[in-house]
Structure 1
Amino acid sequence: MIGDGATDWTETEGEVPAEPAVNPRAIMDWPRFVTAWAAANDGFDLRHAGPGQRWWARLAYRCGIALTRIGGTAAVTTAGAVLAALFVPLIAAGGGRWPLLAVVLMAIGLLAEGASRAVSVLLGGPMRREAFYRSLAERAAELCWLWAAAALGAATLLILICGVLMAAHEYVRARAMAGGMRPAGTSTVGDRPLRIACTFALLIIAAVVSPLAEDLPAGTSTLVLALWALLGLFGFVQLLAAARKGLRF
């Protein structure tokens, strides 16, 4: 021991004890998270989002903090979202009140998707790669929702139309953003919130009307899908017009 004996170490005393490693992003406060989120999402500032979107982002942020503290990653969280989505049609197929449990699983999957985005920001991972896989997971979830509608007896033609509109909408949106359009410029009535709302509606309505008549869930699901298709078509036309104007075809 040399010096004052309090801060110096000799080789015989072993290595200097290291402080526990702390990931600064895992304990990122909300203002820093908002800044990092904007940097990772083409400048989208959560402070300028609507009340509902801000509330959802804060919930995802809190879930992301909890997941990072137990070693969770964006990839694992995204996989959990897909797994929850896969169980939605399997549970809904039970009929009766089972679609209500499917609603809960769907909500869990959506929360996992939001938490995955938050974890990506908190841990500063490979944003583009994680966003790519998350986009695939979202499309897979939407196909599972349409599968649930099929399990409830909805018209096959409408299921196919909704699926095609979903794929076309997201393809055009991705190409428009690749061409330089900002995400806000590609927002339409046919975006994912429409699909989420319609799926929640058809599952809840099917569970409510099931005791009244055996064929009512199929009829109500078909009506909800008709609304999905109508608004989805309108949103697709709206998106094409926005892309034409924004990219100056």
Structure 2
Amino acid sequence: MSGKRVSPMTVTTCGLLICLGVPAAVPLSLLLAAALVLVAALADGLDGAVAVVSGRVTRTGFVYDSVADRIGEAAWLVAFWLAGAPGWLVAVAGAASWLHEYVRARAVAAGMSEIGVVTVAERPTRALIAGLGLAALAVVDLPWLPPAFWAALQIAGLTQLSVVVHRALR
């Protein structure tokens, strides 16, 4: 697959579609759902690489990738709910991760340079929790644990980010 023939947005779209397949896979196999998270995470890493290598980095692609990431993460959280996690806990985990990304975006819009800080709760961490969490649920019946871990890390990451944003924008 040549980076010049495949557009970055195509790779992003494929990753998003794979993410949307994760909840559908849960009733079939938690291990399949976990594998789909892994493939989606690989696509998420490739879209940016394809954009850079092919010289097709765009502001539209940047926004589309971010929106696709949020929708994909929502799909992973739905998968936890379908696997038996309490809905309220899944909602808290999702809200915390969306707030983390929203605070960063608003801080950059307000003048903070770049991302400010890499926290314990970035997208790769969420992908690991989703993939490993779904795989673990195939062995251990603790469906509340992955979204609880997700939420706890998001709150810690939001705290880290909030401190840096406060300092940067004073």
Q: State how far apart, in whole Å, the 1-side matches of 2:137 and 2:166 are.
A: 39
Instruction: Please give the TM-score of this superposition, normalised by the length of structure 2.
Output: 0.92
Q: State how far apart, in whole Å, the 2-side matches of 1:108 and 1:194 are.
A: 15
Q: How many residues align?
A: 169
Larger Rg belongs to = 1
1:91 aligns with 2:25: yes
Q: 1:67 Cα shift? A: 3.3
CA contact (8 A) 1:173 1:186 kept: no
SS in 2 for 1:236: helix
Q: State how far apart, in whole Å, the 2-side matches of 1:99 and 1:201 are.
A: 10
Superposition CA RMSD, Å: 1.4
Q: Which residue of 2 aligns with 1:172?
A: 103
Q: Which residue of 2 aligns with 1:181?
A: 113
1:105 aligns with 2:36: yes
Q: State how far apart, in whole Å, the 2-side matches of 1:240 and 1:166 are.
A: 13
- Return the letter of the residue paired with 2:114: R
Q: Once the two structures are superposed, what CA deviation does each residue of 1:151-204 show, in whole Å capped at 9, x if it has no partner?
A: 101011110101110111100011222323222x23111222331221122211
Aligned match of 1:199 in 103, 124, 130? 130
Q: State how far apart, in whole Å, the 2-side matches of 1:225 and 1:68 are.
A: 35
1:67 aligns with 2:7: no
Q: Which residue of 2 aligns with 1:155?
A: 86
Instruction: Specify which structure has the bigger relative contact order, considering alpha-carbon pairs within 8 angstroms and separated by 6 or more residues.
Output: 2
Q: 1:134 Cα shift? A: 0.4
Instruction: Please give the TM-score of this superposition, normalised by the length of structure 1.
Output: 0.64
Unmatched segments (≥5 aa) in structure 1: 1-65, 210-215
Q: Which residue of 1 aligns with 2:154?
A: 232
Distance 1:126 1:190, change over 3 A: closer
Distance 1:68 1:191, change over 3 A: closer
Q: Which residue of 2 aligns with 1:244?
A: 166
Distance 1:181 1:145, change over 3 A: same
Distance 1:113 1:67, change over 3 A: farther
Q: 1:136 Cα shift? A: 0.5
CA contact (8 A) 1:67 1:73 kept: no
Q: State how far apart, in whole Å, the 2-side matches of 1:111 and 1:223 are.
A: 24
Q: 1:246 Cα shift? A: 1.2
Q: State how far apart, in whole Å, the 2-side matches of 1:202 and 1:77 are.
A: 25
